[in-house]
């Protein structure tokens, strides 16, 4: 059983108890093995459920129980022995007498979403069955752009060079996977060969720009692979955009793990940032001329005076407010990788600029170091506009300076609304709730 397993003392106890009551057996059979992928990769928030699903699918595929990494001490509130449940600590074969192995995956969230999936291992197939082997092989590749196609050809060549000793039936599965199991895009390439080595040579020629001669012939199914001329004609027809029935060319084969699609990395701005240029400056900023020079000079002088955070809170209040606003805008701009001007232009929810719980945590840490005090992690969740954020830091800082306490003890943020909690990520919401409870306890 793959548990959600967030690491919360009470939540984990409730989850394990539920598993024990449903699956724990006292008939002498081995206890139900449990684990959580979070001990390997941490909490992936919205992707935590699919990560658990992938882990269990791989375990069933390889018929192995994998250990729960980094597990040293178990939750003392969980009585594993009495529940007939045991954390998986070693790599062990997964075998069940007389049937296929089963595994469960649980996923829950702060917003109340609860999901449970039951997976069954796929039945073993007879790989030794006869697969028709053609005289020649056509290996098709395609992509959405020319650069992606060139990258895919290069990756496929490198992968095939490492598998040049594959036999003919395996080569059929390679071409079957590329032709039948993959989508076909505008930009295409296809190479012909009688063996894996010949296909590698053809891929090298393609990368060097060599063109295959046009061989006029009718596109057919598997019969096209009987001769070199037929295979060349099929490959050329595919390259110029013909719709090839690859399921007829390769009617049998196994789906293999070939090189993945080479996605091109490109920075895309959200609609909220559409007014920004690639460099992060707003459109029209280049026309500001000398008007920006005095502002920059003032900002540099103010930055120079803030090398010592303690000196910050001795500034006159109005100047302190302007300085804090400049610092908040600057740190938010660094975290979000946008211009400070764009932050200033946002008069409503800062999360509309692409802020997430992880980025909010990074900002709080930077800002806390800059102003010389500990800021609550839920600061941005409670103060979602620039004006309110600056006011909260100002009020907290002046209160700490006057009273000598800690920022967390002085600051009591307003109640988080239901809609705000739903919009939070799971971990950030849990942290906000725990901080809220701690603050209420401190006030008693």
| Confidence class for position 245, pLDDT limits 50, 70, 90 | very high
CB count within 10 Å of CB 386 equals: 19
Q: Token pair for residue 321? A: 């407010």
Name the packing angle between helices 196-207 and 146-161 (round to 10°).
Answer: 150
Q: At a CB cut-off of 8 Å and minimum separation 6, what does 136 contact?
A: 192, 193, 194, 225, 226, 227, 228, 230, 231
If you compute the radius of gyration of the chain from its CA atoms, what whole number of angstroms results? 31
Give the lowest-confidence range in 56-60, 162-166, 262-266. Answer: 262-266
The model's pTM: 0.46
Residue 436 CA to residue 414 CA, distance in Å, equals 10
Do residues 361 and 430 lie in contact, with contact meaning Cβ atoms separated by under 8 Å?
no
Q: Euclidean distance between the first and final Cα of the chain, in Å?
A: 42
Q: What is the DSSP letter of 256?
A: -
Q: Is the pLDDT of residue 426 over 80?
A: no
Q: At a CB cut-off of 8 Å and minimum separation 6, what does 291 contact?
A: none
Q: Tell me which residue of 319, 365, 367, 318 sits closest to 343, measured CA to CA.
A: 367
Query: From the centroid of its chain, how far is CA 27?
Result: 42
Residue 281 CA to residue 303 CA, distance in Å, equals 21
According to CATH, the superfamily of the domain at 312-443 is ACP-like (1.10.1200.10)
Query: From the centroid of its chain, how far is CA 46?
Result: 9
Give the lowest-confidence range in 75-89, 181-195, 271-285. Answer: 271-285
The yes/no answer on whether domain 137-249 falls in CATH 3.20.20.140 is no
Most confident stretch, 6-10, 247-251, 375-379, 439-443: 247-251
Largest CA distance in the chain: 90
| Confidence class for position 419, pLDDT limits 50, 70, 90 | very low
Is the four-CA dihedral 227, 233, 239, 241 of positive or negative sign? negative
Is the four-CA dihedral 262, 266, 269, 274 of positive or negative sign? negative
Average pLDDT on 35-60 reads 89
Query: From the centroid of its chain, how far is CA 226?
Result: 45
Q: Where are the beta strands (DSSP E) in 109-186?
A: 114-120, 137-143
Summary mean pLDDT of the chain:
77
pLDDT at 212: 52
3-state helix, strand, coil in the chain (%, to 5): 50, 10, 40
- The answer to whether 137-249 and 312-443 have equal CATH topology is no
Domain ranges of the chain: 9-120, 137-249, 312-443
Do residues 180 and 247 lie in contact, with contact meaning Cβ atoms separated by under 8 Å?
yes
Q: Tell me which residue of 341, 345, 324 sits closest to 333, measured CA to CA.
A: 341
- For residue 381, what are the CA distances in angstroms to 270, 384, 407? 21, 6, 16
> In the block, which residue shows the tokens 């060349």?
232
pLDDT at 418: 35
Residue 123 CA to residue 140 CA, distance in Å, equals 30
Q: What is the pLDDT of residues 88-136, one digit of tens each?
A: 888 999 877 778 889 999 988 766 678 899 999 988 766 545 667 888 9
Q: What is the pLDDT of residues 133-146, one digit of tens each?
A: 888 999 999 999 99
> In the block, which residue shows the tokens 């009470």?
10
Q: At a CB cut-off of 8 Å and minimum separation 6, what does 155 contact?
A: 259, 260, 262
Helices within 162-245 (DSSP H only): 168-180, 196-207, 228-239
Average pLDDT on 233-255 reads 90
> In the block, which residue shows the tokens 């969980």?
78
Q: What is the pLDDT of residues 320-353, one digit of tens each?
A: 888 889 889 888 888 888 888 888 887 778 888 8
Q: Is the pLDDT of residue 279 over 60?
A: no
Q: Tell me which residue of 365, 332, 371, 362 sits closest to 350, measured CA to CA.
A: 332
pLDDT at 55: 94
Do residues 138 and 173 lie in contact, with contact meaning Cβ atoms separated by under 8 Å?
no
pLDDT at 227: 85
Specify the CATH number for 9-120; select among 3.40.47.10, 3.40.50.1100, 3.40.50.1820, 3.30.200.20. 3.40.47.10
pLDDT at 431: 65
Three-class secondary structure of residue 416 per DSSP: coil
Q: Is the pLDDT of residue 260 over 80?
A: yes
Q: Tell me which residue of 425, 421, 367 sits closest to 394, measured CA to CA.
A: 367
């Amino acid at each position: 059983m793959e548990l959600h397993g967030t690491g919360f003392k009470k939540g984990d106890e409730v989850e394990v108890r539920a598993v024990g009551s449903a699956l724990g057996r006292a008939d002498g059979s081995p206890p139900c093995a449990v684990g959580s992928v979070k001990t390997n990769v941490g909490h992936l928030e919205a992707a935590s459920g699919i990560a658990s699903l992938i882990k269990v699918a791989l375990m069933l595929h390889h018929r192995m129980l994998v250990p729960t990494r980094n597990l040293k001490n178990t939750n003392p509130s969980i009585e594993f022995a009495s529940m007939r449940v045991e954390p998986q600590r070693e790599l062990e074969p997964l075998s069940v007498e007389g049937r296929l192995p089963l595994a469960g995956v649980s996923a829950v969230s702060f917003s109340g979403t609860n999901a449970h999936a039951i997976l069954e291992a796929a039945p073993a197939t007879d790989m030794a069955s006869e697969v028709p082997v053609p005289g020649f092989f056509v290996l098709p590749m395609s992509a959405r752009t020319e650069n992606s196609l060139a990258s895919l050809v290069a990756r496929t060549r490198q992968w095939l060079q490492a598998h040049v000793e594959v036999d003919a039936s395996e080569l059929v599965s390679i071409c079957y996977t590329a032709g039948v199991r993959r989508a076909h895009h505008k930009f295409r390439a296809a190479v012909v060969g009688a063996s894996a080595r010949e296909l590698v040579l053809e891929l090298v020629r393609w990368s060097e720009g060599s063109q295959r001669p046009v061989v006029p012939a009718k596109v057919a199914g598997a019969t096209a692979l009987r001769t070199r001329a037929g295979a060349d004609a099929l490959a050329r027809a595919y390259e110029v955009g013909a719709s090839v029935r690859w399921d007829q060319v390769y009617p049998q084969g196994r789906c293999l793990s070939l090189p993945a699609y080479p996605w091109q990395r490109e920075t895309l701005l959200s609609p909220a940032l559409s007014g920004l240029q690639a460099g992060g400056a707003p459109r029209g900023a280049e026309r500001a001329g000398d008007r920006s020079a005095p502002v920059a000079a003032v900002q540099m002088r103010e930055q120079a005076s803030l090398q010592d955070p303690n000196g910050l809170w001795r500034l006159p209040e109005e100047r302190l407010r302007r300085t804090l606003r400049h610092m908040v805008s600057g740190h938010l701009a660094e975290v979000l990788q946008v211009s400070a001007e764009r932050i200033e232009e946002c008069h409503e929810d800062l999360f509309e600029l692409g802020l997430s719980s992880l980025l909010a945590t990074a900002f709080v840490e930077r800002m806390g170091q800059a102003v010389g005090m500990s800021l609550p992690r839920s600061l941005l969740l409670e103060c979602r506009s620039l004006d309110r954020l600056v006011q909260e830091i100002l009020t907290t800082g002046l209160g700490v300076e006057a009273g000598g306490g800690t920022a967390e003890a002085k600051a009591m943020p307003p109640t988080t609304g239901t809609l705000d909690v739903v919009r939070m990520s799971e971990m950030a919401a849990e942290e906000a709730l725990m901080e809220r409870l701690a603050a209420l306890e401190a006030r008693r």
